[in-house]
A and B are shown apart, each in its own frame.
Chain A
Amino acid sequence: MIPDSTTESLPVQPDTAVQWRKVLWERCPYPDNFIPPDSFLSALRRNPNFTPYSYWPLVFMCCAITQHVGTVFVFLAIFVGLKERSVDARVLLWVSVSCSVLGYGIWEILHSSHPSNMPPNRSKAFKSSLLVFLALMGLAPVLRTLTAATSSDSIWALSACLFLLNTVLADHSCSMRPGSFTQERLTFVLSMNAAISSSVVLASRLPDDLSVFSLVLFAVQLFALFPLLRHRFWSISTAVQALVTLSITAVSLVLVTPLSSAIATMMTGIYIAITFIAPGVLVWAQQYKNEIRGPWDVAIPRLNWI
């Protein structure tokens, strides 16, 4: 927006040869609206700390978002399958239990690869997972009739909003520093809560207690535990990330295609847009970056104890 030639001389020309100085305490023979041709805006700096993004690293970073969207679609496909009785609740239960055992094993391997980490407390993990398991089992009949008085349309709208909130607030950061705990951030907790609430209201549309129980258990694994595991993968390699992304998208497409081929096509479009088109748009938009710095900026104090 700023023209390049801001230092064009003005019609106001001084009649003396006194040098214009950038001071206020001295009246020089120049008019007050004189714009010094050389020094005006000479302290302006544009994009001083600008490091441009390149395309492929951005694609890999966007994999985190694709994975998240993929898990949401996997969950929705499973829900529709349970509701239309094309998925057996017992099969889902066994799949999620075996997945969590597998996931815990991978987690522990990754965890012990960092020597600085504390040794994992297996009995505590087992106890808390058993507690969640039993609590959900006990609560399933209550959850099934939780929203009996609410119309299904409201439930679809509510769960859509909650999943949107979940996706927006989820932790899509990709740098995995050893010892950093992603679960400590407030947005992560909010995002997880939104997803769990959404799955609870969706589960209340299901016909029997076993379906409700298995769906909510599956949701806890998919939205509370799996993001932590996915976050750990960043410390391994980008190839693992690509593999995880590919498998999640493939699973979601395989689950959705029998339900509706139109939705499967739309999902493919979404995946391609997030993974390949969005980074391209960001790289393209960088040419318009115009960060303006100058002496008017609030200085950052440098203190020794920081």
Chain B
Amino acid sequence: MKDEALSIAMISDFFYPNVGGVENHIYMLSANLIRRGHKVIVITHSHPPDRVGVRWLLPSLKVYYVPFMTIASSATLPNYFTFLPYFRTIIVREHIQLIHAHASLSSLGQEGILHAHFFGVRTVFTDHSLFGFEDAASILTNKLLAAALKNVDAVICVSHTGRENTVLRGQLFEPSEEDPSLSVVRSSVYTIPNALVAEQFIPSPWPQPLETINIVVISRLAYRKGIDLLVATAPRICAAFPNVNFIVGGDGPKLNDLLQARERHLLQDRIELLGPVRHRDVRDVLIRGSIFLNTSLTEAFGIAILEAACTGLYVVSTRVGGVPEILPQDMISFANPDEDDVFRALSEAIDIVTRGAHDRLEAHARVTRFYDWAHIAERTEAVYDAVVRSESIDFETRVRRTMSLGPFAGLIYTIILVVDCLFFLFLEWWMPRHDMDFVREHWKPDVFAEFAHKAQSSGEEAP
């Protein structure tokens, strides 16, 4: 499928040393693209005092930590211009052909999309989250997203629901080819799910005891994760099923509610609170249980659900966002975000597990078949190929598309676009390209293989 190896820069505010869904997605995708022969670098903001400059991560993933201040939740301030000097130097030095920005709240990514056309670099954007349309924060960030996505070459979303959401938020419509009066969704909007490393989530080799059933919850204890539903349902389940216990991992503002409920119903020995769980310890917690409960009120993809299903747990989840798309009906029970319905779904799940109708090893094998990073990387590569083959957007079209944002926002963003061009010309004069040091690649995969082979054969010859 691939024509030639590409040089790709992943740009996002969210990357290691922070831990989370987006961070892991970028790392796994990069690693698998490198495995497929591409060159991948990551550009993110620095984490003073020690995570600054350029770092290498296994397997040969170069990370640029650009010195930017963060404002909140590891996001940088959107300012449209200050990233350009860094961006220009990195893109030119590394011979980047395509940038892939991640997460709609990452201003670094959006800025990269704005600057990329100066260098003939193509742009892909992945959206990882769902947003509404009613509160002031959503209205503002949706406008920023719409502005950034006016001139992006392709958009990837992690679920079908996420794609519908992103199409509406980013206004990804264009006039139809047959009838210009109609508008259709751009053909460059893709759905490519997340994946997981199934080897990290192998079920427990020992059979689960049937006399006690553990229900596992691993989640940030916040309102959006529906902890109110958990607080309401857990005591009812404990009262109805004397052999069912809860194991709750995670920390957050709703921890107090949970502690109070536990104390009020005298369930200290039935509801175990683990506090924050590191990602590498998640499997050890999961294998203690038979049922995984997710009470989120909104969820774009629900990677935690997949991890639990992969570890062989039966899943009970609220029917929100992209969750109904990720697992077949016989591996998951859905509930409406309603206390009584969560209770009903949990009771059904306890019945299924008690009957022994859920096979852990088979569940693991199925999830392994469904989701595989190598497969996801291949599908993403197809998007890159389509983008590289497509015609790039000329400046006039860019201005026209930006102006279509609206009478005020359109004008503002067009001014930003033009000022950005002037800033770029100034940088070309001030820091000419011929003065730059270019990165030369010594360690291409085939060279590496040759050296490895040589080392191996010389090792065999030596005594």
Interface residues of A (CB under 8 A from B): 1-3, 5-6, 8, 10-12, 22-26, 32-33, 35, 40-41, 43-44, 291-292, 294-305
- If A1-B171, A294-B165, A296-B298 are given as contacts, then 6 extra A-B residue pairs at C-beta distance below 8 Å, sorted by A number, are A5-B182, A22-B324, A24-B322, A33-B188, A295-B164, A301-B229
Q: Which residue of A is nearest B182, CB measured?
A: A5
Q: Which 10 A-B pairs have the closest CB atoms?
A: A3-B183, A296-B130, A299-B337, A25-B370, A8-B184, A296-B165, A302-B338, A32-B190, A24-B193, A299-B297
Contact of B132 with A23 in the complex, beta carbons under 8 Å: no
State A196–B353 Cα separation when bound (angstroms): 69
Contact of A294 with B164 in the complex, beta carbons under 8 Å: yes
Given contacts A24-B191, A25-B328, A299-B320, contact A8 B339 (CB under 8 A): no
Closest chain B CB from A35 CB (angstroms): 5
State A177–B435 Cα separation when bound (angstroms): 76
**Which A residues are CB-close (under 8 A) to B379?**
32
Q: Which residue of A is nearest B320, CB measured?
A: A299
**Which A residues are CB-close (under 8 A) to B187?**
10-12, 33, 35
Closest chain A CB from B293 CB (angstroms): 14
Is B189 an interface position by the 8 A CB rule? yes
Is B237 an interface position by the 8 A CB rule? no
**Which B residues are CB-close (under 8 A) to A303?**
228-229, 232, 339
The interface residues of chain A, by DSSP majority, are classed as loop
**Which B residues are CB-close (under 8 A) to A40?**
164, 185
**Which A residues are CB-close (under 8 A) to B182?**
3, 5, 8
Contact of A298 with B159 in the complex, beta carbons under 8 Å: no
Closest chain A CB from B191 CB (angstroms): 6
Q: How many Cβ-Cβ contacts under 8 Å join chain A to chain B?
A: 127
State A24–B183 Cα separation when bound (angstroms): 27
State A26–B331 Cα separation when bound (angstroms): 14
Instruction: List residues of B (161-183) whose CB comes within 8 Å of A's CBs.
Output: 161-162, 164-165, 167-168, 171, 173, 176-177, 182-183
- Among the listed A5, A24, A292, A299, which residue makes an inter-chain contact with B168, where contact means beta carbons less than 8 Å apart? A292
Q: Which residue of A is nearest B295, CB measured?
A: A301
Q: Which residue of B is nearest A41, CB measured?
A: B164
Closest chain A CB from B149 CB (angstroms): 14
Closest chain B CB from A171 CB (angstroms): 23
Contact of B191 with A295 in the complex, beta carbons under 8 Å: no
Among the interface residues A11, A41, A43, A302, which one has the most CB atoms of the partner chain B within 10 A?
A302
**Which B residues are CB-close (under 8 A) to A41?**
164, 167-168
State A12–B177 Cα separation when bound (angstroms): 13
Instruction: List residues of B (206-258) whose CB comes within 8 Å of A's CBs.
Output: 224, 226, 228-229, 232
State A23–B332 Cα separation when bound (angstroms): 13
Contact of A24 with B339 in the complex, beta carbons under 8 Å: no
**Which A residues are CB-close (under 8 A) to B132?**
296-298
**Which A residues are CB-close (under 8 A) to B167?**
6, 41
Is B327 an interface position by the 8 A CB rule? yes
What are the interface flags for B318-345 relative to A under an 8 Å C-beta threshold, 1 for contact and 0 otherwise?
Answer: 1011101111100000001111100000
Among the interface residues A1, A11, A24, A298, which one has the most CB atoms of the partner chain B within 10 A?
A24
Among the interface residues A44, A298, A302, which one has the most CB atoms of the partner chain B within 10 A?
A298
